[in-house]
Structure 1
Amino acid sequence: MAGRRVFVSGVGGELGTLVANLLENEPWVGSLSGIDADPPRRRLQRTTFHRISPDDHDTIVDTVTKFNPHVLVHVGVWEPDARAAPRVAAALTDQAAVSVLGAAAECRALDSIIVRSGIEIYGRGPGSLTRPDEDAPLRPTSEWGRTVADIERTAANVAERVGVTVGAVRLASVLGPHVPSPLGRLLRQPVVPFHATTDPPFAVIEHRDAARAIVAAARNQLSSPVNVVAPGAITCLHAIRRGQRIPLPLFGPQWWFARQLSHITGAPIPDHVSEALTRGRLADNGRMQALLGMTPDTSTTEVIDHLYRWPRVIRKQARVPAAEQITPDEVSA
């Protein structure tokens, strides 16, 4: 198995860069290559990076087919209101998926496809305490849920056509110091809204655990979906109190106004985040150990605590160095 060629799409994002970092230390990995519209967030030692826009279909296809990977890791997805507005994010994600996964079908050496997905693929569910497992029906009720469902469907079609395995890593909301996340951005606001009558629980995943899971999926040639969710759960009000924020209780119709106001203040609330805060978002992660050989190191509560410990930008008034200050004599002169 040593010396396998691995191609990573979305390597410029925080999660994609971290995945490539971990893959560089895997003994079974030979050459590594990756693409993204933006450069990697940290130094990569062995990964050949190609800066290509998602809409440059021909260049993407040419780059992937020339590399001819054994394993394709597709994390080139844009969560709504993370790095781009919902419509732009959906368009970029679709362009990248069509180009990258379509190119994979032309690679003769390919034998495994791993795609990033999300537990939003299960939809709202019948209740806030529902923990769907991987066999649950797929009923996405948000734009992000429908997007990851389309990615899984496209990857499955390609895999079936060329006779390779495909695994979907269904992540909970990913939070980390440099991970653009609409949920993380909202929870760090001075005033945070929560559902006053239900305040349902939700779960998240720490960015390093998410990257470890994706690498484990590539190593094990995952051939089925797997839920990757940190143990435990937390409610929005509980998170607000741990972060010493001001809670803003809301009822049904008030959420629409809160979403408009939050967008103006720089923390948009896309529909999948709104669902998590008003209906809950949980999933069963019982198959992680069997399918990936790992479990998360960080619980949901610990992830939230880390969220509130991230450094903040502190603005200070500019000061003129003492040696450069103008004296009263110079002013009178």
Structure 2
Amino acid sequence: MIQKKRSVLITGVCTPWGGKLARLLENDPDFNIILGLDYKKPEFPLRKTEFFQVDLHNPLIAELIKTSEVDTVCHLQFMDAYSHSEEIFDLNVMGAQSLLAACAAGEVPRVLFMSDTMVYGGSSRNPCFLEETADFKGQYRHPYVRDRWEVEKLLAKFSREYPEIKTTILRFANILGPDVDTPMRRYLEAPAVPMVFGFDPMFQFTHEEDVVAALYHALKSDAHGVFNVAGQGAMPIGQVLRVGRRVPVPFGAPFLRMSNFFVQKTPVADYIPIETDFLKYTFVGDTTRMKEVLGFKPKFTSKQTVIDFFEHLRILGYIPKRGEIETAPEAHEQLQEYINSMRRINEAIQGLQ
């Protein structure tokens, strides 16, 4: 019996996660149709992926899902907002709502969403390890956390209304890596890092390579439900700063909270990317379901992720900034095409000898 090839739609295909996932699927013979959506054009080549530059409110997405017989919609389009923005809220939350409506109308069998363990919130009532069924106890003052929380509420309602559609949510913990811009990266990049006086909470971390690997693994598997995803172990934030040779600058919690409130309304909002409660209270996710139900094991532990991240920052300091010395964007493809043509010529000559 011939196994039917799979069809997948990826939103946010221009994000680091969407682009790398699409290229993995392009090399996977199990996937026949790969559709990519984003509001901007990709800056990298896509060989098999059919790309459409549309936003998630487009009414034709439901018809695209149905006619292409998409078996999984993988939603990765999300923008971390560090100040209040109606446009970003529309992209993150209202866009997700429109996509879910399209999934229902298109009768897709499964949806896969990328989320964050920060949706649990920072609270003194948090247990040592948060299971996926734990209540959300955060204040959600920061836009990027609030938007994730809003999307998860939409997903919970969607799952109740359409139980026939399998829903998979991967909640990643504090993503770090050389090629991604995340709230945790922005927090740790500065030489002097703010902390809450008298608090040293535990943090989990997920390497960017493990994020793509987990998405690919979840897409290939039949597992559904909610899964915390993080590298093994956890570290106090003070130890993280010592590994990176960062200078901790302790402040009182009321001062940091007030600073967050006012700075979010200014152009320098990027410089306070972490909610104060996360610097006070532990929000470590229980990864038992990740290992036993999803069957995924991250390559990097939390400590290895932190070490690799700071090593990248150290090396980055030695790389000179580009000025007049530039390489043409198409040079790599031209070189590769020339090398391939020379190989064919050499093989033909050898065949005549």
Smaller-chain TM-score bracket: 0.7 to 0.9
**In structure 1, what is the equivalent of residue 284 of structure 2?**
282
Equivalence map 1:196-207=2 (5 Å): 196-207=197-208
Task: Tell me, in whole angstroms, the C-alpha distance in 2 between the residues paired with 1:296 and 1:306.
Answer: 14
CA contact (8 A) 1:231 1:300 kept: yes
Q: CA deviation at 1:126?
A: 2.9
**In structure 1, what is the equivalent of residue 343 of structure 2?**
none
- Deviation string 1:128-167 (CA, Å, 9 cap, x unpaired) is 7621111222344315444334333434544543722111
Task: Tell me, in whole angstroms, the C-alpha distance in 1 between the residues paired with 2:189 and 2:66.
Answer: 43
Aligned match of 2:5 in 3, 6, 12? 3
Alpha-carbon RMSD across the aligned residues, in angstroms, is 2.9
Aligned match of 1:132 in 91, 114, 130? 130
**In structure 2, what is the equivalent of residue 295 of structure 1?**
297
- Residues 100 and 302 of structure 1: CA distance in aligned 2, closer, same or farther (over 3 Å): same
* Structure 2 unaligned spans of 5+: 326-353
Equivalence map 1:224-263=2 (5 Å): 224-256=225-257, 259=260
CA contact (8 A) 1:105 1:162 kept: no
* Structure 1 unaligned spans of 5+: 320-333
**In structure 2, what is the equivalent of residue 93 of structure 1?**
92
**In structure 2, what is the equivalent of residue 209 of structure 1?**
210
Task: Tell me, in whole angstroms, the C-alpha distance in 2 between the residues paired with 1:25 and 1:242.
Answer: 37
**In structure 2, what is the equivalent of residue 268 of structure 1?**
271
Task: Tell me, in whole angstroms, the C-alpha distance in 2 between the residues paired with 1:130 and 1:121.
Answer: 16
Partner SS, residue 58 of structure 1: coil
- Residues 111 and 62 of structure 1: CA distance in aligned 2, closer, same or farther (over 3 Å): closer
Task: Tell me, in whole angstroms, the C-alpha distance in 2 between the residues paired with 1:314 and 1:273.
Answer: 33
Q: Report how many residues are paired.
A: 314
Task: Tell me, in whole angstroms, the C-alpha distance in 2 between the residues paired with 1:205 and 1:267.
Answer: 21
TM-score norm. by structure 1 comes to 0.82
Letter in structure 1 aligned against 2:95:
A
Q: Percent identity?
A: 23
TM-score norm. by structure 2 comes to 0.78
- Residues 64 and 137 of structure 1: CA distance in aligned 2, closer, same or farther (over 3 Å): same
Equivalence map 1:76-87=2 (5 Å): 76-81=77-82, 87=86
- Residues 248 and 8 of structure 1: CA distance in aligned 2, closer, same or farther (over 3 Å): same
Equivalence map 1:1-333=2 (5 Å): 2-40=4-42, 42-54=44-56, 56-81=57-82, 87-108=86-107, 110-126=108-124, 130-142=128-140, 143-159=143-159, 160-161=161-162, 163-256=164-257, 259=260, 267-270=270-273, 273-310=275-312, 311-312=316-317, 314-315=320-321
CA contact (8 A) 1:65 1:103 kept: no
- Deviation string 1:53-110 (CA, Å, 9 cap, x unpaired) is 34x43354454444341111111122233xx7555432211232122221111224x2
